[in-house]
Amino acid sequence: MLLEARAQARAIPAFTSYTLESTRAVVEAAACLRSPVIVQAGSGSFRGSSREMLAAAVLAAARAADAAVGVHLDHATQLPEVRACIELGYSSVMIDGSRLDFESNVALSSRVVAESHAAGVWVEAELGAIAGDEDVSASTGRGELTAPWRAEEFVERTGVDALAVAIGTVHGIPDRPVVLDLGLLEQIRALVPVPLVIHGASGVDTEQLLAAVALGVAKVNYNAELRRAYIGALRTALIQDSDDVVAVQLAAVAAMAAVARDKLLLLGGGHVDVSSNHHRDQKGPS
């Protein structure tokens, strides 16, 4: 999915899911546009239910979808969680060793790549420091940017399939404009052969985001905007339909689906006719 997207100068949006409602919203938006999408049921998502319960819901939705749906583990820091999600049927995993020193990040990521590839699962890793908390919107400064030469060495030594880079984005919705270092991104792209990933796309100017996609970003992560749509819809629906649980749920689904459709269209979705699902059934890659 990512290689095809990069070749066509577009990107696949990846949405973090915490609930059945957010999962349904993203999958229905993708099916409506017949556009590929990634649902991230990641480490932070499991706190509200459980890994097994949320994964089961997301995987079931992916299998039933009339669109290509990848199921991704986001921001894992420990091998046991990666192994558990591979066993459950995830099509891709992210190992986040960005808070480790370079050599430790290389060692951890290499081990995850070896185990994941043996199971037919592709691996995203992160180099640099993307500031903020992916599960909570809060103001923060940007972290350490990714050095191009380090990125080249990291990909070569680990064999990762995609690399999340720090070029100025932050997790959450910042209280000041985000300025992407597109010159740095261009340098990284010249040295790194695998698709690049942007985390913290909420709050990034549309023109800058599309410029980043043109420079090789093939996966764009969204969390805060979908989460805010969910909470906002719940607040409104609870006032109007406080006793109707289904009405409240459907209002939340509709609000999140609208956000997901906007992002799919923005990044080049809605133009690809996909006839098969991209979940992983028999240890095959998405």
Reported confidence tier of residue 171, pLDDT bands at 50, 70, 90: low
User: Quick one: pLDDT at residue 238?
Assistant: 83
The number of domains in the chain is 1
Distance CA 150, CA 199 (A): 19
Q: Exposed, middle or buried by CB within 10 Å (0-12, 13-18, 19+), for 103?
A: exposed
CATH number (domain holding residue 121): 3.20.20.70
Tell me, yes or no, whether 184 lies in a domain: yes
Residue 32 lies in a domain: yes
Q: Would you state the pLDDT for residue 269?
A: 62
| Nearest residue to 128 (alpha-carbon basis) of 159, 98, 83 | 98
Per-residue pLDDT for 241 more than 80?
no
Q: pLDDT tens digit string along 73-82? A: 999 999 999 9
What is residue 173's predicted lDDT score, i.e. its pLDDT? 55
User: Is 199's pLDDT higher than 60?
Assistant: yes
Higher per-residue confidence, 274 vs 263: 263
Per-residue pLDDT at 270 exceeds 70: no
Mean confidence (pLDDT) of the chain: 87
Residue 182 lies in a domain: yes
71 near 90, Cβ under 8 Å? yes
For residue 125, list its beta bridge partners.
95, 163
What pTM does this model have? Answer: 0.87
SS3 140: coil
* pLDDT of 47 strictly over 70: yes
CA 250/CA 91 separation, integer angstroms: 28
**55 has pLDDT over 90:** yes
Active site members: 74
* pLDDT higher than threshold 70 for residue 94: yes
Alpha helices in 34-180 (DSSP H): 51-64, 79-88, 102-118, 148-158
- What is the pLDDT, as a whole number, of residue 128? 86
Confidence of residue 143 (pLDDT cuts 50, 70, 90): low
Domain that holds residue 53: 2-266
Residue 115 lies in a domain: yes
For tokens 């099509």, name the residue: 91
Give the pLDDT band of residue 2 (cuts 50, 70, 90): very high
Q: Considering the domain boundaries, does residue 233 fall inside one?
A: yes
DSSP annotation of 110 reads: H
Q: How confident is the model at residue 272 (pLDDT cuts 50, 70, 90)?
A: very low
Helices marked H in the chain — which ranges? 2-7, 20-33, 51-64, 79-88, 102-118, 148-158, 182-191, 206-214, 224-240, 245-266
Using the predicted structure, report yes or no on whether residue 129 has a pLDDT greater than 90. no
* Residue 93 pLDDT: 97
Task: Determine which of 114-123, 185-194, 265-274 has the lowest per-residue pLDDT on average.
Answer: 265-274
Q: Is residue 280 part of a domain?
A: no
Structural domain includes residue 278: no
pLDDT over 80 (residue 141) = no
Q: Is residue 110 part of a domain?
A: yes
Asked whether the beta carbons of 234 and 248 are under 8 A apart, the reply is yes
